[in-house]
């Protein structure tokens, strides 16, 4: 692979793992250490193929649904959260549950119950089929409607426009979500929402950092898995900024033709991607010629989440 004589790599910061992801992975690790293998995990603990493969090598068994888990076994709920129906099923099967739901996702679940209980129609801005969205909708399925796009925002109908509220998936693009909410507020002047934004700090920070490097880059590489919503939003954001952008699982995904004539490469990673994968991308670029690495930091993340009580006692 040939590149320009000298390449500048702009590293977006923050990037890679967030506190919620680190917490979820540690919950699985502690469960395996305490209970031995297998420990079952419903869905992917976080949306990253490398993380899943690593935990599988340690004794985690990933399943799609609880009917694949033997009665009485240990199961971990993923960082994306689950609906009350799933919790009830786990109790019926007598499963020992460790809940790795991100506290920021749990906040949205709490808001969904509160808004529904006060009689609102709850508009959830999110993507159909995503585990986080499915879990949140499950909190009040008879009172919640999914809004996926501007077109949905323009056409969604509610029973009583005076009693309507909104929530958002935590991993959405900030700019696109703002557009959707502007339409909803125009259509429903009584629309109420959370006192603090549902889009999590990690998604917001990584998007801001991506903008900072994209404007100076000839090419943007985003490290993460294709089923990671927050990672996909980073790719889309770079492309909306007019930059060629590619999602790669790791350094092996870099294609030679992408680097032709490129002098500056912006590099970031979604919140579910391990930091060492970013280092691998930098080293892969360095192996092909001189590289200068510059970090662009837009925020410093110091948030830490406490472990669930059941995990702290392990």
The answer to whether 170 is a known ligand-binding residue is yes
Active site residue 132: yes
Q: Given the DSSP bridges, would you call strands 245-248 and 219-223 parallel, antiparallel or unpaired? A: parallel
Which residues are within 8 A (CB) of 66 and not within 5 positions of it... i.e. 6 or more apart? 42, 75, 86, 89, 90, 93, 95
The answer to whether 200 is a known ligand-binding residue is yes
Q: What distance in Å separates the CA atoms of residue 247 and residue 224, rounded to the nearest whole number?
A: 7
DSSP 49-115: HHHHHHHHHHTEEEESSGGGSPTT-EEEE-TT---HHHHHHHHHTT-EEEE---HHHHHHHHHHHHH
Architecture of the 7-17+201-297 domain: 3-Layer(aba) Sandwich (3.40)
> Global pTM?
0.94
Q: Do domains 7-17+201-297 and 19-101 have the same CATH topology?
A: no
Residue 21, pLDDT score: 98
CB atoms within 10 A of CB 294: 11
In tens, the pLDDT along 39-80 reads 999 999 999 999 999 999 999 999 999 999 999 999 999 999
First-to-final CA distance of the chain: 50
The answer to whether 246 is a known ligand-binding residue is no
Which whole number is the average pLDDT over 30-46? 97
Residue 3, pLDDT score: 41
| Topology (CATH) of 104-199 | Cobalt-precorrin-4 Transmethylase; domain 1 (3.40.1010)
Q: What distance in Å separates the CA atoms of residue 67 and residue 86, rounded to the nearest whole number?
A: 11
Q: Given the DSSP bridges, would you call strands 39-42 and 74-77 parallel, antiparallel or unpaired? A: parallel
In tens, the pLDDT along 285-309 reads 999 899 999 999 999 999 999 999 8
The answer to whether 83 is a known ligand-binding residue is no
The answer to whether 102 is a known ligand-binding residue is yes
Residue 307, pLDDT score: 96
Q: Name which of 66, 86, 83 is nearest 137 in CA terms.
A: 83
Catalytic pick from 132, 157, 176, 216? 132
Q: What angle do CA 306, 93, 79 make, to 5 degrees?
A: 30
Domain ranges of the chain: 7-17+201-297, 19-101, 104-199
| Topology (CATH) of 19-101 | Rossmann fold (3.40.50)
| Residue 8 structure tokens | 């500048």
């Amino acid at each position: 692979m040939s590149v320009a004589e000298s390449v500048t790599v702009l590293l977006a910061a923050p990037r890679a793992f967030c506190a919620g992801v680190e917490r979820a992975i540690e919950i699985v690790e502690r469960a395996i250490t305490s209970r031995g293998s297998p420990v079952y995990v419903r869905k992917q603990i976080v949306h990253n193929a490398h993380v899943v493969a690593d935990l599988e090598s340690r004794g985690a068994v990933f399943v799609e649904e609880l009917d694949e888990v033997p009665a009485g076994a240990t199961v971990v709920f993923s960082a994306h959260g689950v609906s009350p129906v799933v919790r009830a099923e786990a109790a019926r099967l007598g499963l020992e549950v460790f809940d790795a739901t991100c506290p920021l996702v749990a906040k949205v679940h709490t808001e969904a119950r509160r808004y529904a209980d006060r009689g609102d129609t709850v508009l959830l801005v999110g993507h159909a089929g995503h585990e986080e969205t499915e879990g949140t909708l499950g909190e009040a399925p008879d009172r919640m409607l999914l809004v996926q796009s501007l077109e949905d925002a323009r056409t969604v109908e509610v029973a009583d426009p005076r009693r309507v509220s909104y929530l958002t998936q935590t991993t959405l693009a900030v700019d696109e979500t703002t557009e959707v909410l502007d339409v909803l507020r125009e259509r429903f002047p009584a629309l109420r929402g959370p006192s603090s934004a549902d889009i999590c700090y990690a998604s917001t920070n990584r998007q801001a950092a991506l903008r900072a490097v994209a404007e100076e880059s000839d090419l943007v590489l985003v490290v993460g898995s294709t089923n990671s919503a927050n990672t996909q939003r980073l790719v889309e954001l770079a492309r909306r900024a007019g930059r060629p952008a590619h999602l790669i699982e790791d350094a092996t995904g870099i294609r030679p033709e992408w680097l032709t004539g490129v002098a500056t490469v912006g590099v970031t990673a979604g919140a579910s991607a391990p930091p060492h994968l970013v280092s691998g991308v930098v080293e892969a670029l360095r192996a092909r010629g001189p590289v200068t690495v510059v970090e662009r930091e837009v925020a410093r993340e110091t948030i830490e989440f406490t472990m669930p009580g059941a995990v702290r006692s392990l």
